[in-house]
Structure 1
Amino acid sequence: MHSPSLLAALAGLGFGLSLIVAIGAQNLYVLRQGLRREHVGAVIAVCAGSDAVLITAGAAGAGVLVDAVPWLGTAMRWGGAAFLLVYAALAARRGLRAGDDALRADDAGLRTTLPAVVGTTAALTWLNPHVYLDTLVLLGSVAAGHGSARWWFAAGAVVGSVVWFTALGYGARLLRPLFARPTAWRVLDGVVAVVMTAIAVGLILGSR
């Protein structure tokens, strides 16, 4: 017979993965950095670390704050939408660039600096209002349903986050043969531009 703590942890693992494993701005950025083999560890650390903070806050009941301060959600939506539109424009420009300078991932002269990568990763995480809905509100409410075992539920969700981002970031290198062709990079950047624009539009419409 499984203990309530173990069951709660497994439930948290499954629930956390169900929220994280989806095509979105953050996951696409992790994939792109993994393909470029550029500051992958830092990207994973920011994503998983941010999730750990938010999941813990959600289990502690911080979701009440989001519901109590309506303007906070609106501000995050507009800020997130603006950032995503800028990033989408940059991705579209990379995809449409005639040359292949932006596609040579291993050229040291073209590598993005660590502060820039960390800043972009943090922005894609913390400026996305959906992450607060998923972790503080949704995951927090489910965790509360586990009573005293809610911290085990939260721990399982954190483990799920670490496993997913590690697999996505370091596993992306398995796709490098496909992305040896400039066309594949252009397609990826095109997908990034479309997805981020769609998310930004959704945030703007949701702010009205």
Structure 2
Amino acid sequence: MSLQHSHPEFVDKLIIIGLPRTGTTSVSVALLEQGLKVAHMAFTKAAFMQADAISDAPCFSDFKQLDGLFPEAKFVYLDRELDSWVPSMQMLLSRMLPHLDAQTGRFHPIMKRSFRHSFGVGLIENPQDEQHLIDCYQRHKTEVLDYFAGRHDFLSIDVSRQGALGQLLTFMGLASAANQQNFPKLNVGRNVASWDEYKHPNKISANASGPEKRKFFDYKI
């Protein structure tokens, strides 16, 4: 599946499978700046097909199914120290939980499904519990690393580390851009809207429409 229309050197779809609050916005913005078409979340088949890179929901919950759908794709896991990730995730959930309610929440059903699958939202009494979130993080990380063990189409990075962007660009084959070493620090603290506020012509809507309107893939997780 060639993506030469957007970046002449990059020919593979990139699927970013780090959990929320691991740097998905920083990675997405950095890839926009490299000329790629990026969807930060994708809730339609068309969004996946139009984007060169896709992050966040449902990628972090559906990586095995997406690997089957896009056998030429490359996958990037985003790691983060738990002592900073847990409070950041608790803050995010404090804002999101009312909108993730299965019946009354305003968020997209696919986002609700991803959060139910990965964090037990709607299934347990307190998804913001510290130990619960640690368990969710470690379970996801173990599943990802076990699934992609020994594969050359997989990279794990921590976006806060020196040289992480250079690592990613080298992995993608964008060697000419690899002198740009570090990611921008976005979506930090209590800021959860940076992607929406960031204006760029290469942004792909999570609800992009295509030949099948706003249909999603029919796989199950």
Q: Which structure would you say has the larger RCO, counting Cα contacts within 8 Å and 6 or more residues apart?
A: 1
More strand by share: 2
Say whether the fold is shared (TM-score over 0.5). no
The higher radius of gyration belongs to: 1
TM-score range, shorter chain: under 0.3
TM-score by length of 1: 0.27
- Between structures 1 and 2, the one with greater helix share: 1
Q: Normalization by structure 2: what TM-score?
A: 0.26
